[in-house]
A and B are shown apart, each in its own frame.
Chain A
Amino acid sequence: MNKEHVGVNSSRPQEEDCIRPKEADCTQSCDKPVETDCTCCNNDPDNSPVEADSIRPQTAELENRLLRLQADFDNFRKRTARERLEQAALAEAALVANLLPVLDNFDRALANLPQEADTSWAEGVQLVHKQLLDVLGQQGLERVNCEQPFDPNLHEAVMRETCTDDEAEGTILQELQPGYLYQGRLLRPSMVKVATKD
């Protein structure tokens, strides 16, 4: 069957306009006269039954492919719509993730405040740090709590230390680098030292 692409302005009927005919009647919705070649229907009235039989499996295969492609497309369309909504959130999370090392270094700078630093300047810098945390906090940034037992869903063990006490097993001994959640999802796990029994 000739699957020709029909343009919008064409006077020929689109494939979808043609009601799939049963064997006999091809003139259901075509406005083409019977004598002319109606390529939107499967049947040319002059076709012998033998010819029709030979192309039926091909048609079935093509129909099958069309249905599958249609289903694929439907799924793709639904998923793309969902992804578009998630995209904005993902882009934000990516930006915040890139800012985390800067935040880490800012923390380090403040942790290394020299004794003789001009106190009002140092205070100013601390306020800037607070402002940064506030802005990110309002967007949904949250520091991971390390005052709880080690949880690989939130923490990453980079070091371990043997503890003799059974109860201390799994305790976080030190937070080497803070972890963060962003809008409820883990953005970066905390880097911690964990107490283990061995």
Chain B
Amino acid sequence: MSRVVGIDLGTTNSVVAVLEGGEPTVIANAEGSRLTPSVVAFAKNGELLVGSVAKRQAVSNPEGTVLSVKRHMGTNYKANIGGQAYTPQEISAFILRKLKQEAENYLGTSVTQAVITVPAYFTDSQRQATKDAGEIAGLEVLRIINEPTAAALAYGVDKSQDHTILVFDLGGGTFDVSILELGEGVFEVLATAGNNRLGGDDFDQRIVDYLVQEFKKEQGIDLSKDNMAVQRLKEAAEKAKIELSGLLSANINLPFITADQNGPKHLDMTLSRAKFEELTHDLVLS
């Protein structure tokens, strides 16, 4: 019995889910993650890589790697990788095919139909490109649904009543705000706004900048010059940001972050939620 899956084909990450007994379940991939990076690459030996494994070699193989292909959907952009030119639909199809396979492995049955979400501001040609990508991947695309509408439905908005809904979607690479009107069971997009070059990474970067600045003040050393220190700061910044969703302050503890002639140096700072909001205030307002 073949199943229908729901797919969020995102700029940075993609997700696939299935309805079981009326409840949605997000499907984890072979590596155990519920998110699959929207990255496609052809390795130097010609091997096709999709997802985390593609992301891991992006820095060493930038000419062979395609990131954020969603930004090119509906355009004549061609990705020249693996000795061939691929359209954005074909690149997206690689991602969709992987999601399809993951779903089939999880369910133990074939998956031939899907519902795929797109941003509310997507044009007809962008929507058609998304549908085409699905077909290339071997999926019959039953519907293309607006992302904020899908969010409202998943939230459980009561379709029998009229509502005005604001959906705030701050994702990996884009920030989208949508105003929807639900009337007589039909969703209408009234307005969209946001910043399609703003994502989670930008918030992390504000924390990193703050840590570098404070460390320079206290220790007189500029950590931004040390690649390994920067890596650790980025990871710690993301972790602190996540913790601040639930706690009012997060501790950032990085022993042996660097060293000078006097010996090793450590970074041990506390970041309050208030400070984080102050550091990122203008990002949200933009």
Contact = CB atoms under 8 A, between A and B. Distances in A.
Q: Decide whether A and B are members of one complex.
A: yes
How many B residues touch the partner, as a band? Answer: 20 to 34
A112 interface: yes
Contacts of A108: 255-256, 264
Interface in A143-184: 150, 152-153, 155-160, 169-170, 176-177
A160 B59 contact: yes
B44 A177 contact: no
Interface stretch (B50-58, B70-78, B161-169, B212-220): B50-58
Contact of B31 (A76, A152, A156, A186): A186
Contacts of B259: 112
B1 A176 contact: no
Contacts of B107: 75
A130 to B, nearest CB: 19
A35 interface: no
Nearest to B108: A75
A73 B21 contact: yes
Given A159-B227, A186-B31, A72 B20 contact: yes
A19 interface: no
Interface string A70-82: 0111011001000
Interface in B75-109: 106-108
A105 interface: yes
A166 to B, nearest CB: 12
Given A72-B21, A112-B259, A152-B54, A176 B60 contact: no
A153 B45 CA distance: 14
B29 to A, nearest CB: 13
A79 B134 CA distance: 27
A10 to B, nearest CB: 26
Contacts of A75: 20, 107-108
B59 A158 contact: yes
B32 interface: yes
Contacts of B110: none
Contacts of A191: 231
Nearest to B235: A101
B256 A112 contact: yes
Interface in B234-260: 255-256, 259
A105 B54 contact: no
A187 B76 CA distance: 39
B58 to A, nearest CB: 7
A194 interface: yes
B21 A159 contact: no
Given A112-B263, A158-B231, A152 B53 contact: yes
A33 to B, nearest CB: 38
A152 B43 contact: yes
A76 B256 contact: no
A156 to B, nearest CB: 4
B56 A157 contact: yes
A152 B56 contact: yes
A49 interface: no
A126 B54 CA distance: 38
A162 to B, nearest CB: 11
B144 interface: no
Given A108-B255, A112-B256, A112-B263, A150 B21 contact: no
A96 B188 CA distance: 48
B227 to A, nearest CB: 6
B56 A156 contact: yes
25 contacts: A69-B21, A72-B20, A72-B21, A79-B106, A108-B256, A108-B264, A109-B255, A112-B256, A112-B264, A150-B57, A152-B49, A156-B56, A157-B56, A157-B59, A158-B227, A158-B231, A159-B59, A159-B227, A170-B44, A170-B60, A176-B227, A177-B228, A177-B231, A185-B32, A198-B63
Given A72-B21, A169-B44, A189-B56, 11 more contacts: A75-B107, A90-B32, A105-B256, A108-B256, A152-B43, A152-B49, A152-B56, A158-B59, A170-B44, A176-B227, A186-B31
